[in-house]
């Protein structure tokens, strides 16, 4: 492919344009004879070149054609190709967005999973290790599956939670009304005995239980698919986007909730 071909001229268009550079003004018949472009194609080629402002006509009888200056032609061809490439980029960008929407929105987040039932020794240990990492704040949402479990089961995890919490951290507990109905009033005395700053708010219902520690890690309780009074696992995630999203959701729920002791 020649340079003019790379810029978008067909072989016939290039032959006609180069011929006009040599002949100067010429009629369609003269251009056909000099360039070797067939008579049956010459007018289509000339009209295309004129439409692209690469040649122009003179008001004579018969019509004569003249080539635009090479520098002007190259600039116009380059502009055409640039526009085509921009349109092609936009088409590929649109196609990429379409493909992306049918794939997973993000790669799996960094984290781990802890298998364990409510109140089990392994989960008490895991919860204590988790809470001990807090140096500033714990934001916790307590809903299902805790609201269906008996207090005797929950008490072990509540004790592990507060025993491991550093007294100087700030704890915000958002609890569903069914959990409040299950827990004894002494729960809140225990909270204040262990932590200097603790706030508790209540909502009628909560969709899921989770916590956010120091806005750097979140854990989400996975309810047991067959046992409504239990969980099957807890997922811990430290991916910043995931943690920020859960922190944002906590703040929205917190703003809607009512203080427990008001």
User: Domains of the chain, with CATH numbers?
Assistant: 3-101 (1.10.10.10), 111-259 (3.30.870.10)
What is the pLDDT, as a whole number, of residue 62? 93
What is the pLDDT, as a whole number, of residue 245? 96
Calculate mean pLDDT across residues 233-240.
Answer: 91
Q: For residue 126, is pLDDT > 90?
A: no
Which of these, 214, 218, 224, 225, lies nearest to 249 by C-alpha position? 218
DSSP line for 78-126: HHHHHHHHHHHHHHHHHHHHHHHHTS-SSPPPSEEEEE--TT-HHHHHH
What is the pLDDT, as a whole number, of residue 5? 87
Cα(186)–Cα(262) distance, rounded to whole angstroms? 17
Three-state SS at 193: helix
Question: Is the separation of the CB atoms in 75 and 69 below 8 Å?
Answer: no
Task: Tell me the average pLDDT of the chain.
Answer: 88
Q: Any idea how long the chain is?
A: 262
> pLDDT tens across 153-190, in order?
888 888 888 888 888 899 999 999 998 888 777 666 66
What is the pLDDT, as a whole number, of residue 187? 66
Residue 1: pLDDT band (50, 70, 90) is: very low
Calculate mean pLDDT across residues 45-67.
Answer: 94
pTM: 0.58
The token pair that represents 201 in the structure block: 């708010």
> pLDDT tens across 72-124, in order?
999 999 999 999 999 999 999 888 877 766 665 555 556 688 888 888 888 88
Name the β-bridge partners of 219.
211, 236
What is the pLDDT, as a whole number, of residue 249? 96
Q: Residue 72: CA atoms inside 13 Å, Cβ hemisphere, count?
A: 9
Calculate mean pLDDT across residues 238-242.
Answer: 91
Calculate mean pLDDT across residues 129-151.
Answer: 90
User: Which is more confidently placed, 114 or 1?
Assistant: 114
């Amino acid at each position: 492919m020649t340079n003019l071909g790379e810029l978008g001229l067909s072989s016939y268009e290039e032959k006609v344009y180069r011929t006009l550079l040599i002949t100067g003004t010429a009629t369609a018949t003269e251009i056909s004879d000099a360039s070797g472009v067939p008579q049956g194609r010459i007018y289509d080629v000339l009209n295309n070149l004129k439409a692209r402002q690469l040649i122009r006509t003179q008001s004579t009888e018969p019509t004569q054609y003249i080539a635009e200056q090479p520098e002007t032609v190259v600039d116009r061809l380059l502009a055409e190709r640039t526009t085509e490439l921009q349109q092609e980029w936009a088409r590929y960008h649109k196609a990429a967005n379409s493909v992306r929407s049918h794939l997973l929105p993000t790669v799996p987040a960094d984290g781990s999973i802890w298998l364990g039932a409510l109140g089990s020794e392994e989960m008490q240990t895991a919860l204590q290790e988790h809470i001990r990492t807090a140096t500033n704040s714990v934001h916790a949402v307590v809903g299902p599956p805790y609201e269906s479990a008996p207090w005797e089961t929950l008490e072990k995890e509540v004790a592990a939670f507060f025993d491991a919490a550093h007294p100087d951290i700030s704890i915000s507990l958002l609890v569903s009304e069914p959990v409040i109905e299950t827990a004894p009033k002494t729960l809140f005395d225990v909270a204040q005995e262990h932590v200097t700053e603790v706030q508790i708010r209540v909502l009628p219902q909560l969709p899921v239980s989770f916590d956010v520690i120091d806005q750097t890690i979140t854990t989400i309780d996975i309810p047991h698919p067959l046992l409504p009074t239990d969980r099957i696992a807890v997922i811990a995630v430290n991916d910043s986007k995931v943690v920020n999203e859960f922190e944002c959701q906590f703040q929205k729920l917190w703003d809607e909730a009512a203080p427990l002791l008001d």
